[in-house]
Structure 1
Amino acid sequence: MRASLSAKIIAVCNTKIAKNGPGVGLSFYAFFANRNDDPPLLMEAAQWWILTHGLDHFEKAEKIRLMVERGD
């Protein structure tokens, strides 16, 4: 995963956790605007989320942040 996507995921997770608490869930769509202006980046996130890790549609933000920080 490219560094810019990792940083974006961590920032979004941090914001969601700060706003909604440690149990907040999110999907990989949370990292993108409603109007997708970067399809290759969306596909990279989807591949990491679905194909590489087999994650459910919604996962805990803390789990995702930890996975990205570890470089999973």
Structure 2
Amino acid sequence: MRDSLRRKIMEVCDRKIAQKGPDVGLSFYAFFANRNDDPGLLMEAASWWIKTHQLDHFEKAVKIRDMVERGH
């Protein structure tokens, strides 16, 4: 996963956790604007989420943040 996507995931997870608490869930769509201008990056996130880790549509933000921090 490219560094810019890692940073974006961490930023979004941290913001969502700060706003809504540690039980907040999100999908990989949370890392993108409603109008996606970078389909390659969206597919990279989707592949990481769905193909590589076989995550559910919604996962806890703390789980995703921890996975990204550990380099998974």
TM range (shorter): over 0.9
Between the two proteins, the alignment pairs up a number of residues equal to 72
Cα distance in 1, alignment partners of residues 29 and 9 from structure 2: 10
Match of 1:30 in 2: 30
Question: 1:3 and 2:10 equivalent?
Answer: no
Unaligned runs of 5+ in 2: none
Match of 2:59 in 1: 59
User: How many Å apart are 1:48 and its aligned residue?
Assistant: 0.1
User: How many Å apart are 1:12 and its aligned residue?
Assistant: 0.1
What CA deviation, in whole Å up to 9, does each residue of 1:2-37 have, x standing for no partner? 000000000000000000000000000000000010
Query: Partner letter of residue 66 of structure 2?
Result: L
Match of 1:16 in 2: 16
User: How many Å apart are 1:55 and its aligned residue?
Assistant: 0.1
Indicate the percent of aligned positions where both proteins have the same amino acid.
76
Q: Secondary structure at the match of 1:34?
A: coil
Cα distance in 2, alignment partners of residues 71 and 44 from structure 1: 15
